[in-house]
Structure 1
């Protein structure tokens, strides 16, 4: 019964988005979480989270980070964008943990809050940038760098601090995983993969579906490896996306487009909606509204996302950016939700943060997805440059 209701909500959510599109642009993920909350135990109680849907939701979260890994174009963000995004993220993590020490009950809770506040929802922002024609503009490149660091950095922090190991051994294990993944990516980049590409082409429209099976194999191997090493599974999923992008890079462009459509169908047509709807079902609205002080944490965390994550993100703004362009970068950088959901789930499972704090963080993340990208795109009029004309010789013209 629960799966039937979730499937119905997954169909209803995009219809509601389209119906309200002329009035207000609401990201699909927000509707999916809100519908889960409405029909879940928090409000109507028509659907409960069960083990089967929780398992599908875990697959959905893994696919979300796999797709995020495939979306990163390292040739675009390397150099200044990635370096400045990395510096900004370290500042965000430090400031976030500092804020967590004030708001949380202890150091471990402060780390959870800090990691949540320093994240950026790359998987949510990239479709928005594509739809706005900004994915390869200076603004889009800066936001992609912020998102790459803002998803990989928190995953590393989660694996270090919550692996169950001492910091020294945890660091060694993490470095080992990164070295193995880096070696796999390097070797994959040196090979032309002619056999694999030929097999992909032959089975692209048959029941064999070699490309999709290969994706699931790579994803499963790296997720299982990361979990076996005591790291967070999302780190493996993210690495799998990066590895697959390298493996398939030299395949015919038409084949790559078809494969991307298939992955999008599996991820955003099936698994990812289950994750976000299940998140809404599990959302503890009672813990959030029972105490006015806890409810007040939602706007506090929303402001902290802007201050802790948004302001340092301005370091990654393109050279000679206008102030409006820097504001847009800050707003995009402060948009976070999937990592917030993941890290607060860890905090609740380990009893390091209360349900109220977790719900307040997720609520702030939902508001950030709803408000910040919309406000960011309004910082400039269509066709207006994000930076002064002299920057064009550094970054190229807007496409």
Structure 2
């Protein structure tokens, strides 16, 4: 059983983080996740030693990661991102994966599995971190937001599939067969979600929206649990189930209760971003191996190397394969946003360390580079876009530009 003081410290850190964002906002825009992880490192065993991870906290953190990926899946509007944009997104990620594994091979000393872990981590995009930034700054809606959603979705879905295939401990052929079976069942669930829902579903959603019943929220949680359980049964990474659950939830709510879908999502987001997601980030900081990073010069030097590789491996193909209708500054901003990574890097390195195919020093260097990417790259992307003048949406709605300055 967890020590009550540990959970109190974690929740205190999650409350302090937005206060620090507000306090520093006039001088520098620091993403919330950086403070959450930084405070976790501070109270963790390598600095103050106040908080120690245990089974209960780790379970809550796993739920937080699942909720983060679930919300990222919900954000994806596949109707908007399909077609040429989606094809370009897939090709950009495949090129990134090939290049990533190639450059990771000499870093790993020729170890194929370690090279795969490092290379896959270099291809991920922190869509769940980037989309709230774009939404808060008024850049999510419109052409740029749609393209970013497409490239970011593939940047999250691709690594999750790669982990399910090659880091599951099975032979690739067996993993591919199980993944295909999971895909067939998920496709059936999508077909079910697209069917008209009975009228009572919308009525019950509206009637219980402000009561203790909360039918729609409970339904969403059931759907998430079912997809997580399905992924677990097939021996796949649960993040794949969380992402699929987010996609299904969007289809169901927008089809069955379109007038209440945003309010239902707001309640789920309150549960996620108010409790589970920040808990995951703080625990990531607590479990961060700062000692291995600071006491190994080689690992410390790998941090800037990995940061540069993230931009080149992930951002390079995104820039080259971005839709032609985007301006050069928008393509550069897209590449920087797509290179922003952290949640999946933490997940991939954790799996690699657990399976003893990745050293804790390399894992700490990767996570350290990912933390810097979250701190630096979105700010550079925002600056690149703002230097070209207001976005199309800002021109239509001057209030959006004002909101972006506030952010």
- The alpha-carbon deviation at position 131 of structure 1 amounts to 1.5
Q: Which of 17, 30, 41 lines up with 2:34 in the alignment?
A: 30
What SS does structure 1 have at the residue aligned with 2:114?
A: helix
Q: Map 1:1-399 onto structure 2 (within 5 A).
A: 1-105=5-109, 106-381=111-386, 384=389
Instruction: Summarize the Cα distance change of 1:316–1:70 in structure 2 as closer, same or farther, 3 Å threshold.
Output: farther
- The alpha-carbon deviation at position 90 of structure 1 amounts to 0.1
Alpha-carbon contact 2:124-2:156 (below 8 Å) kept: yes
Cα distance in 1 for partners of 2:262, 2:338 equals 28
Cα distance in 2 for partners of 1:12, 1:384 equals 34
Cα distance in 1 for partners of 2:248, 2:396 equals 30
Cα distance in 2 for partners of 1:248, 1:43 equals 45
Instruction: Summarize the Cα distance change of 1:157–1:208 in structure 2 as closer, same or farther, 3 Å threshold.
Output: same
Cα distance in 2 for partners of 1:385, 1:37 equals 38
Alpha-carbon contact 1:335-1:372 (below 8 Å) kept: yes
Alpha-carbon contact 1:3-1:53 (below 8 Å) kept: yes
Structure 1 segments unaligned to the other structure (5+ residues) = 387-391
Instruction: Summarize the Cα distance change of 1:382–1:208 in structure 2 as closer, same or farther, 3 Å threshold.
Output: farther
Cα distance in 2 for partners of 1:190, 1:108 equals 42
Cα distance in 1 for partners of 2:302, 2:396 equals 40
Alpha-carbon contact 1:328-1:377 (below 8 Å) kept: yes
- The alpha-carbon deviation at position 385 of structure 1 amounts to 6.7
Cα distance in 2 for partners of 1:196, 1:156 equals 33
Structure 2 segments unaligned to the other structure (5+ residues) = 398-407
Alpha-carbon contact 1:139-1:318 (below 8 Å) kept: no
Greater shift after overlay, 161-170 or 236-245? 161-170
What SS does structure 2 have at the residue aligned with 1:192?
A: coil
Instruction: Summarize the Cα distance change of 1:41–1:185 in structure 2 as closer, same or farther, 3 Å threshold.
Output: same
Cα distance in 2 for partners of 1:56, 1:167 equals 30
RMSD across aligned positions (CA): 1.7
Alpha-carbon contact 1:32-1:277 (below 8 Å) kept: yes
Cα distance in 2 for partners of 1:222, 1:307 equals 34
Alpha-carbon contact 1:2-1:48 (below 8 Å) kept: yes
- The alpha-carbon deviation at position 13 of structure 1 amounts to 0.6
Instruction: Summarize the Cα distance change of 1:145–1:316 in structure 2 as closer, same or farther, 3 Å threshold.
Output: farther
Instruction: Please name the residue that 1:389 is paired with.
Output: none
Cα distance in 1 for partners of 2:284, 2:186 equals 30
Instruction: Summarize the Cα distance change of 1:398–1:244 in structure 2 as closer, same or farther, 3 Å threshold.
Output: same
Normalised by the size of structure 1, how large is the TM-score?
Answer: 0.95
- The alpha-carbon deviation at position 254 of structure 1 amounts to 4.3
Cα distance in 2 for partners of 1:193, 1:308 equals 47
- The alpha-carbon deviation at position 251 of structure 1 amounts to 4.2
- The alpha-carbon deviation at position 349 of structure 1 amounts to 0.7
Alpha-carbon contact 1:317-1:325 (below 8 Å) kept: no
- The alpha-carbon deviation at position 198 of structure 1 amounts to 1.9
Count of matched residue positions in the alignment of Structure 1 and Structure 2: 391
Cα distance in 2 for partners of 1:196, 1:33 equals 40
- Deviation digits for residues 228-280 of structure 1 (CA, Å, limit 9, x no counterpart): 11100000010001011111113444421221111111100000111000000
- The alpha-carbon deviation at position 383 of structure 1 amounts to 7.3
What SS does structure 1 have at the residue aligned with 2:254?
A: coil
Cα distance in 2 for partners of 1:333, 1:207 equals 40
